[in-house]
């Protein structure tokens, strides 16, 4: 059975306002939300989660330093079953196609519809639990 309080959403976005608003949205469910301002911060301080706990990653496409697509490649290599959702306010069709071809579950444009984001996040978390 899916227990939202055991689920973790990992958020990587360089905009502090976006991180704070999305954290509040996820924690209201209540999901655990761990946020990072960059891909490098995510890599340096991985989210501590139980191996069987449902989790997913919400990635911004445009990040300082390593891009969201580059981080997605590392995540795919390290944790191939970890679902990735992309969000971006500035994405080309080629960016979206590259993310989806690399296995992203969804690519949403900012500003993100909160209900749509929560729906796709829940589906990812349920799927990650089933895949675990």
Compute φ and ψ for 55, nearest 5 degrees.
-155, 160
pTM score, whole prediction: 0.92
Domain extents in the chain: 4-131
Choosing among 3.40.50.2300, 3.40.190.10, 3.40.50.720, 3.40.50.1820, the CATH entry for 4-131 is 3.40.50.2300
Q: What is the pLDDT along the chain (132 residues), one digit of tens a residue?
A: 678 888 999 999 999 999 999 999 999 999 999 999 999 999 999 877 666 788 999 999 999 999 999 999 999 998 888 999 999 988 999 999 999 999 999 999 999 999 999 999 999 998 877 665
């Amino acid at each position: 059975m899916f227990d939202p309080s055991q689920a973790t959403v990992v958020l990587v976005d360089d905009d502090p306002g976006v991180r704070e608003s999305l954290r509040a949205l996820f924690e209201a469910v209540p999901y655990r939300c761990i946020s990072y301002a960059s891909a490098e911060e995510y890599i340096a301080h991985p989210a501590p989660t139980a191996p069987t706990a449902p989790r997913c990653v919400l990635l911004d496409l445009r990040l300082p330093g390593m891009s969201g697509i580059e981080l997605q490649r590392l995540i795919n290599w390290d944790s191939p079953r970890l679902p990735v959702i992309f969000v971006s306010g500035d994405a080309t069709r080629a960016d979206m196609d590259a993310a989806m071809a690399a296995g992203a579950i969804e690519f949403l444009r900012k500003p993100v519809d909160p209900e749509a984001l929560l729906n796709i996040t829940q589906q990812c978390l349920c799927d990650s639990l089933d895949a675990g």
